[in-house]
Amino acid sequence: MLVPVLVGAVRRGEVGKALLSYPAFFVLRLLNSAVMFKAIVLELLLGRSFSTYEKGH
């Protein structure tokens, strides 16, 4: 996964930026997994659909 990012970064001269932003990928992946898990629980287990708008207050 890092190799294609570094190849593109070398072409643009942004290797430092690419290496610094790489750890953020794992944080974002974890957050996306949590949101997907919540969506699965709400949709399949609780039967609440995301196609309807529910006002929060």
- The pLDDT, as a whole number, for residue 43 is 85
pLDDT of residue 11: 93
Q: Which of 15, 32, 29, 33 is nearest to 2 (CA)?
A: 15
DSSP string, the chain: -HHHHHHHHHHHT-HHHHHHHHHHHHHHHHHHHHHHHHHHIIIIIS---TTS-----
**pLDDT confidence of residue 1:** 75
Per-domain boundaries in the chain: 2-45
pLDDT score recorded for residue 30: 95
For the chain of 57 residues, list the mean pLDDT of each consecutive stretch of 10: 88 90 90 90 79 67
